[in-house]
Every structure is written in structure tokens, then in C-alpha cells.
Copies of this chain bind each other. A is one copy, B any other.
Amino acid sequence: MRWDEIGNEACSVARTVGVIGDRWTLLILRDCFLGVRRFDDFQARLGVTRHVLADRLKKLVEEGILAKVKYEDRPPRYDYRLTDDGRALHPVIMAIVHWGDTHRVTKKGRPLLHTHKTCGHVFDPVMTCSHCAEPLTARAVEVRPGPGAAA
């Protein structure tokens, strides 16, 4: 399989990975959620080559994850902002952060702390069941083919 075909797979993981399953793309998204918007800021923070950054941003725009917005007319300047589809990726980034925070800790502790504005407390993200609201564990989840399953 090649990467330009992965969007056609039946699996939702494959289709999502086709959009965000690139090392740099995930780091770009992390920075987007931290408020980074401009080309040179991404480049300086990530240390990615400008070449690759331009390519990834273009793909994210094509996929509707980021929007290129003109923020100045003369000279024309654009920045990249999360769309609603892009913001919907927040749980993915939170899940990734949390795994790093709990399974790849350094002696110094966590690099970032998350505060929930709604309740005002520092928190960890917890994956729960939309029906009973209990925290999910891998073993408590059963997977069955759905209507869109492959033949």
C-alpha cells in the first residue's frame, strides 16, 4: 500500500492516519492548539525544514484541518488557523500528551499542565463511554463490524 491510497481504506484509523499520521503533522497540530499560527513560528519552534513544513501545511489546508487566513493586505500575509474539523482533533492530541505525561516522564516532571477553565482545576484527560460515562479500558471494549465494514 502507498500513502496516496490510504484515504480509501475502510478503516477509520487508516483514514485518519492518512490525514494526521505523519510525525511533523502531529507536532504542527500540537503547536496549533498552543496558538501558533505563522509559518516562521512553526519553523522556529519545530526545527522542521521549511520545505517539509510548507508541504504539511498545504496538505492540512487541503484536508480542511487548517485554514489559510489573510491577516494583512500590504504586503499580503497569511496565517494558519484550526478549522472546526481541526479543533475536533483535540482529543487525539490530549490522548497523546497524556500518554507521554504518564509513560515517558522525566525526573523534572511534566512540561505542561492543563487547567480546565470550566471547573478551574488542573486535570488529566480521561476517555469515557458516551453511554454510561465510565472510564474506558482496552479490555472492556468489544469491537464488531459496522455497516461500513469491508467485504
Interface of A toward B, CB cutoff 8 Å: 1, 3, 6-7, 10-17, 19-23, 26-27, 30, 33-34, 46-48, 82, 85, 87-106, 108-119, 121-134, 136-150
Contact = CB atoms under 8 A, between A and B. Distances in A.
Contacts of A95: 91-92, 94-95, 127
Given A123-B130, A142-B114, A94 B136 contact: yes
A103 B131 CA distance: 20
User: How many copies of this chain?
Assistant: 2
Given A113-B143, A117-B141, A145-B111, A126 B125 contact: no
A43 to B, nearest CB: 11
Contacts of A30: 11, 13-14
Contact of A111 (B46, B102, B150): B150
Contacts of A17: 23, 26-27, 96
Contacts of A20: 96
A108 B143 contact: no
